[in-house]
Structure formats: C-alpha cells, structure tokens
Amino acid sequence: MNTSSRSRARSAARLAAVQALYQRHMEKTPTAKLLNEFHQHRLGAEIEDDQYEDAEVEFFDDVVAGVVARLEEIDAALTEKLAEGWTLARLDKTMLQILRCGAYELLARPDVPKASAISEYVDVAHAFFDSREAKFVNGVLDAVAKQVRG
C-alpha cells in the first residue's frame, strides 16, 4: 500500500472509529459486536450509493478497542483540558468521540506523529461541525498532546 492510500485508509478508519464509538455510546453495543458490524457492513462498503473509503481495519480496531479499554484514563485527560465549568457530559456526543479517539492516539500510538493525530481529528470534526468546533478539537487535543507527549 503506498503512502497516500495508507493515509486515506487511516483517515477512513478514524472517521469510522468515531462513528462506531458514537453508536456504542448511544446503543450500548458490545465492542466485539460493534467491530464485527463495521467489518461486515461499513468499512469499504457501499451504503445508499455512497462508496465508503477502504479503511485500515487493524487501525480502526485498535482505536475503537483502545478507547473502550482506556476510557477512564482518556476521559480524565480530556476533563483536565476543558474550560472551567465544562464537563464531558455537556459536549456534543459526536464531539466527545472525536476527542476520545484523538486522545487515545496521543496516549497510546507513539507511531502516529502528534501533529498528524491532531490534524486528522480536526479534519473529522470538519465533517460534522463548523470551524469553531474544529478549532476546539485542535485546542483540546493540543493540550492533551503537550501533557502526554511533552
């Protein structure tokens, strides 16, 4: 796989991970069932004439399972970086999953450069929100990165 197709596959995996974790949050789907459902029906699939980009499945699995496994640690790191008076519960549910995925990569994936992890999730935020929210993602993840990566 060349670098640009691997990069696109990782970007697709990140977007799918946010969607999977949103579904898990809303429907309480067990992780194994959730991963299987995405493997069977979402990753690289065509849904209602939209062709989904082929995602890097192992990376998708790692991000989803990693966020689930380290949820308390991730949420504590994020909570520390929110403005006073803000809680994770106040955040939009999609926004929360974007931040969790980004924080997971910063904490657990030293193979992913800090700037890449942040900019990728800013791009994911742009898929759902306007630039104000994307800047918020950038600010929170940058603060998490400074703490966990120095």
Residues 23-44: pLDDT tens digits? 999 999 999 999 998 888 767 6
Tally the residues of the chain.
150
Q: What is the pLDDT of residue 48?
A: 52
Distance separating alpha carbons of residues 32 and 91, to the nearest angstrom: 26
Q: How confident is the model at residue 7 (pLDDT cuts 50, 70, 90)?
A: confident
Identify the residue whose tokens are 């065509």. Answer: 46
Q: What is the pLDDT of residue 55?
A: 80
Higher pLDDT, 100 or 7: 100
Name the CA dihedral angle for 73, 139, 130, 53, rounded to a multiple of 10 degrees.
Answer: -60
Instruction: Give, for 47, the enclosing helix (H) or strand (E).
Output: strand 46-47
- Structure-block tokens of residue 96: 């929360």
Q: What is the phi-psi region of residue 48: left when phi exceeds 0, alpha when psi lies from -120 to 50, beta otherwise? A: left
3 state SS of 113: coil
Mean pLDDT, residues 139-144: 97
Residue ranges in the chain assigned as alpha helix (H): 3-27, 31-41, 57-69, 71-81, 93-108, 114-128, 131-149
Statement: residue 138 has pLDDT above 90: yes
Residue 80 near residue 64 (C-beta atoms within 8 A):
no
Q: Which of 89, 147, 87, 112 is nearest to 17 (CA)?
A: 112
Mean pLDDT, residues 103-123: 96
